[in-house]
Amino acid sequence: MNSVATQPYVSENQDILPITIPEAQTKLTDIVERVHNKDERIILIQDGKEMAAIISMEAFSFLEQMIHKMEDEMDRRAILEARNQRAGNITLEKLKQELGL
């Protein structure tokens, strides 16, 4: 079975900056520039809870690519499992013959 080969997403700055949503509303342009230019990651906080994240398009594209690769790998595993379980199945023609159809 082939494992998913990945190229790691390397960020210059691994720091995650928590910001409240009201603060983010007043500083959105600055936040977008920091995420884009410095590859910072922002976590939006509301009532003390982490609600959402703001990440660069590079990071987003990487995550999307990894999701698709993981889904493909899960599909491959499901197909292999189904093939392994198929040993007890019979063809439609054989079933018709056994039923006298």
The continuous run of DSSP H or E covering 46 comes out as: strand 41-46
Query: What single letter denotes the amino acid at residue 26?
Result: T
Same domain, 87 and 61: yes
Same domain, 51 and 61: no
**Domain of residue 29, residue span:** 11-55
pLDDT tens-digit profile of 16-46? 899 999 999 999 999 999 999 998 999 999 9
Same domain, 88 and 77: yes
Residue at 62 is within a domain: yes
Instruction: Report residue 10 CA to chain centroid gap.
Output: 17
pLDDT tens-digit profile of 42-81? 999 999 999 999 999 999 999 999 999 999 999 999 888 8
The CATH number linked to 30 is 3.40.1620.10
- pLDDT-derived band at 5 (thresholds 50, 70, 90) equals very low
The verdict on pTM exceeding 0.85 is: no
Same domain, 18 and 41: yes
Q: Which are the contacts of 90, defined by CB distance < 8 A and separation ≥ 6? A: 98
Domains of the chain: total? 2
